[in-house]
Amino acid sequence: MRQRGSGAGLRQESLPDKIHRYRGVIVVFSVPLLLVSFVLLLMPSYPAGPIAPVGRKTAPGGGGDAGSKSYAVIFDAGSSGSRVHVYCFDKNLDLVHIGEEIELFVQKKPGLSSFAKEPQEAANSLIPLLQKAESVVPPELRQRTPVRVGATAGLRALGNEKSEQILQAVKNLLQDKSSLKFQPDWVTVLDGTQEGAFQWVTINYLLGKLGKTYSDTVGVVDLGGGSVQMAYAISEKAAAEAPQISNGEESYVRKLLLKGTTYYLYVHSYLHYGLLAARAEILKVGDGDSNCILDGYHGSYKYGDKEFPASAAPSGASFSKCRSDTIKALKANEPTCTHMKCTFGGVWNGGGGDGQKNLFVASFFFDRAAEAGFVDPKQAVAKVKPSDFEEAASRACKLNAKDVKGAYPLVSEDNIPYLCMDLVYQYTLLVDGFGVEPHQVITLVKKVEYGDAYVEAAWPLGSAIEAASSA
């Protein structure tokens, strides 16, 4: 038996000798490897990166595949006009572009309520908007795209019979002429709290606030033509202590689950206190002549199917007298409050709190501020104070109607006689109605920046989010 030694006396085995000694093992392992390599060589090659599923196309610009997109078409049938919004969402419910725009937005005047005696004409007024909306929805997605019509305060003010006739005509139109997904109960008169809640969801969604604590959200005041809504998130404790409503109206508090977070939303809508409706309420206070109509104007004001005398008082408009009339119209000083804190007309104010401290104010507030010249109409948002409306009103009330265009070139012809009234009303609504401090900074908002685009700060987006979530 040979003994192993050490050092240089050991013979080193060469590579050929090793190959020869293990040739059987090498053959066993090499044959399968050669077969696998041969199969891989015959397989077609694919480009690097994600592979689109069969039957779906990847959207240009990295927008994801078309099958993951969903659309929603929402009609806002307001008192001053009809508007259509079309939104496109990805699978995460984030907005994506429709062509070059983040949404389709088209509007048309007058509103449905202007056709109180012609329901078919009311429905027909939506046809151009419907055609435009359908044109931007891909044909293969139209039958899956919900179309909803939300009528607001203008139709609410007409009463049940007339509003139902108009709504039925709109339902028939969508049933017969639309290629979109439609259900009759998707055409409805929104109650004010729905409108206010959707508006709150819209603005907080666009600001990226949803999913955060209620104190990180913003409060919203939305001044439409027929009604005004206030909505803001409150604590669970404050929600539990909310007064009960016994006259059949909607509850003050709505519970919402959004992005995994539960919110208790204080929301109330004041019918007859939108800007156009409030003009009628203020004109009722006078005896024919009004302290709020600009000097030199004599005429009448039509709201809905009623007309009101609208002529200047002999001495012209007066800021202080107009403000007194406006407070009476708001019922701001009437002792009807049965709760600890009220806004006006005996309505609970929600108790205040962190959800209200950052206030976003939308719709006609922005429009009149732009016409009065203290915000830039080309900007989407503006920081102002209620006192800015007071100062603008004080100047406007001194004018003669024929001099308004020279002083305020952006005011439309229809609004000239009511410039003093509108600005006084907006200041009074904020300060005496909602209890906002005159020098508190608030944000006037027309559109909200969202990524590289701006989106209309309007309730239809909130409705679209709900529709897309349940589609």
CB burial readout 309-348, b (16+ within 10 A) else e: bbbbbeebbbbebbbebbbebbebeeeeeeeeebbbbebb
Q: Which residues contact 70 (CB under 8 A, 6 or more apart)?
A: 88, 89, 141, 144, 145, 468, 471
Write the CA distances from 27 to 36, 143, 234, integer angstroms. Answer: 15, 63, 77
CB 200, CB 230: distance < 8 Å = no
Q: Which long-range contacts (CB under 8 A, 24 or more apart) does 46-54 make?
A: none
Cα gap 93→112, rounded to integer Å: 31
In sign, the C-alpha dihedral spanning 169, 172, 176, 178 is positive
Cα gap 307→321, rounded to integer Å: 23
The number of CA neighbours under 13 Å toward the Cβ of 356 is: 20
Cα gap 226→113, rounded to integer Å: 11
Cα gap 361→220, rounded to integer Å: 6
The active-site residue, picked from 195, 281, 390, 466, is: 195
CB 222, CB 273: distance < 8 Å = no
Write the CA distances from 279 to 253, 290, 334, 417, 418, integer angstroms. Answer: 29, 11, 20, 11, 8
Q: Which residues contact 353 (CB under 8 A, 6 or more apart)?
A: 215, 232, 234, 235, 238
Cα gap 471→421, rounded to integer Å: 44
Instruction: Verify whether residue 164 is a known catalytic residue.
Output: no
Residue 72: which of 98, 52, 49, 109 has the closest Cα? 98
Please list the helix, strand and coil fractions of the chain in percent, rounded to the nearest 5, in that order.
40, 25, 35
Return the SS3 of 230. Answer: strand
Q: Which residues are catalytic?
A: 195
